[in-house]
Structure 1
């Protein structure tokens, strides 16, 4: 069974962060530049939450707020479930489905060590299926 550690090994554990007092427009520009859908919100190297494109759409656009006046802290998601590198990919899928979320922070103890997205989970599932198919084909042909 593949684990979160496999995802982090494949994609890396580097996490892009933003300060809670930054304006939302800055966070959006960074997400656009890096072609990602979320940023980790930190202050004094402490994890506070995650800000996502969905947060922007639901908490800024729909409410008629300005991304130039609104801070990240006002719209970030907090209290998300936490996972560890030892959690399985199936566990991630279950947690994401149950909570209707697309990103999970990964912690080793109290230290943030990565972020897993729904895209990461789907990609890892597809890679695992391809590996299983290759093994079965090899078995059949031997």
Structure 2
């Protein structure tokens, strides 16, 4: 069922931050790219992960003066590029987080989210799906 390798659904080469980035930079990237999780790299090594939840928990009076390292989570659960999608699903359920950095050895090669797993399962289950957005007429008015 979920025996495919995680690399089949992950986002490859994700946008990454450095410790020098500010919270203002993070907010801009989250908004512009419509994402909720960003890995933090220092000299190519994964040192943290920052999420919209982290920003909410550490609201700053001045996002231009607060650095990623002040807010990021350094206790990161990672997954290997060869692990299965089911492993990611189990980690998400057991730990109640929503993103996993995907590693090839010590190198960050991707990121997978709960949305990626849900999308994978949904598309697999329903081959010829008709989505609400495909049939909904936004101009339709009701009385």
TM-score, normalisation: structure 1: 0.80
Partner of 2:105: 109
Partner of 2:136: none
Partner of 2:53: 54
What does 1:31-42 correspond to in 2, within 5 Å? 31-42=30-41
Among candidates 83, 90, 97, match of residue 86 of structure 2: 90
Does the CA-based 8 Å contact 1:96-1:118 persist in structure 2? yes
RMSD: 1.5
Q: Distance in 2 between matches of 1:47 and 1:77?
A: 11
1:20 deviates by: 1.2
How far does the alpha carbon of each residue in 1:14-56 deviate from its partner, in whole angstroms, 9 at most, with x for none? 2101111211011110121111112111112221111111110
Larger relative helix fraction = 1
The alignment covers a number of residue pairs equal to 125
Q: Distance in 1 between matches of 2:125 and 2:81?
A: 20
1:103 deviates by: 0.5
Q: Which runs of 5+ in 1 are unaligned?
A: 132-142
How far does the alpha carbon of each residue in 1:104-132 deviate from its partner, in whole angstroms, 9 at most, with x for none? 0101111111000111111111122235x
Q: Distance in 2 between matches of 1:97 and 1:69?
A: 35
Q: Distance in 1 between matches of 2:15 and 2:53?
A: 17
SS in 1 for 2:101: strand
SS in 1 for 2:9: helix
TM-score, normalisation: structure 2: 0.80
Q: Which runs of 5+ in 2 are unaligned?
A: 128-143
Runs of 4+ residues over 3 Å off in structure 1: none
Partner of 1:6: 8
